[in-house]
Amino acid sequence: MEAKKPYVVFMGGPCVDKYFDAEAWPEIGNKVSVWHRGNVCGGLIANAACVCAGYGIETYSFDIKGEGPDTEMLFEDMEKSHVHMDKAQIIPGKKDTYCVIYQLPSGEHTLMVVNGTKHPIDLTDDLREFFLGASYIYGTLDWSAYFNDSWGLLEELKAKGVRIMLDCESSFNSEEARRMIGYATTVSFNEFAAELYGNGKTFEEFRDELFAKGVETIILTLAEKGAKIVTRDGEWQVGCYDVDPVDTTGAGDTFNSSFCVAKVMGLSDPEALRFANAAANMSVTVQGPRGGITTREKVEEFMRTHTPKDER
């Protein structure tokens, strides 16, 4: 019998990204002029899914969207990037999330997520089988937006050994989010989120708490200082490459998605770290939230011809 092709499921879908150019980010009580550059198809999870599909990995996006022309446009755009949308659910009357992105002349940005309405559904047998068959499931800490019994599904996934990678955004900080971390095999934090979820603990105390919950790999993205992973077997850190950033939007999504892909391809944790770091550094040299879409060959070529500032 032919082996089943591995696939990755991304919990979340596309949304409209509204881009604005800003001279500077205003201090509290002050104002600043901005210019609307235009709208593009984006979404944090969708961007990560498109990066995954670019490597040739079978990729699905699961989401619950409202009905309308934006949804049709967004789904068509995802399919063009080879992300399957046939598992997504359409609910008439649901208001969808969109993002507002303010970009500074330096290339740095501030992103605001304008949340839509939640409309969780009952999990069908077909969807349950679909999730249980995944090699990896990637998402944030807000699965309650999708299912009436998200905890039951998470228990099944953990029992089946399905690998779950969670991007622990600071905006999801809650008791429910902290509980969900215990179902993940890999968790990713930026420095701010790690401090927030650590809740006053030292990193070593927080690390041991995560390991006790069953987490196997902790990723720390460190902006201009690169990235670091911590496992029970050790820790590794790589620095950034010397590139001229054009747009840092989506760099974290590119890193996380590329790390997930590297693990599906069979790379070790240190190898996956170096691969993901190179992909993220490549992505900031391209304008737009999906600048990270590339191929394994191009990332490996970049690694051969460029050297990170520091590695240990």
Single-letter amino acid code for the residue at 189: F
Cα 284 from Cα 253, distance rounded (Å) = 11
Active site residues: 253
State how beta strands 98-103 and 109-114 pair. Answer: antiparallel
The HSE-up count of residue 115 (CA atoms within 13 Å, CB side) is: 7
How does strand 15-22 pair with strand 34-42? antiparallel
Question: What single letter denotes the amino acid at residue 242?
Answer: D
Contact 224, 201 (CB under 8 A): no
Q: Residue holding tokens 């010397």?
A: 242
Neighbouring CB atoms inside 10 A of 257's CB total 33
Across 216-257, where does the E strand assignment appear?
217-221, 227-231, 234-238
Residues 165/137, Cβ–Cβ less than 8 Å: yes
Q: 21 to each of 25, 100, 142, 195, 248, how far by Cα in Å? A: 10, 11, 30, 30, 14
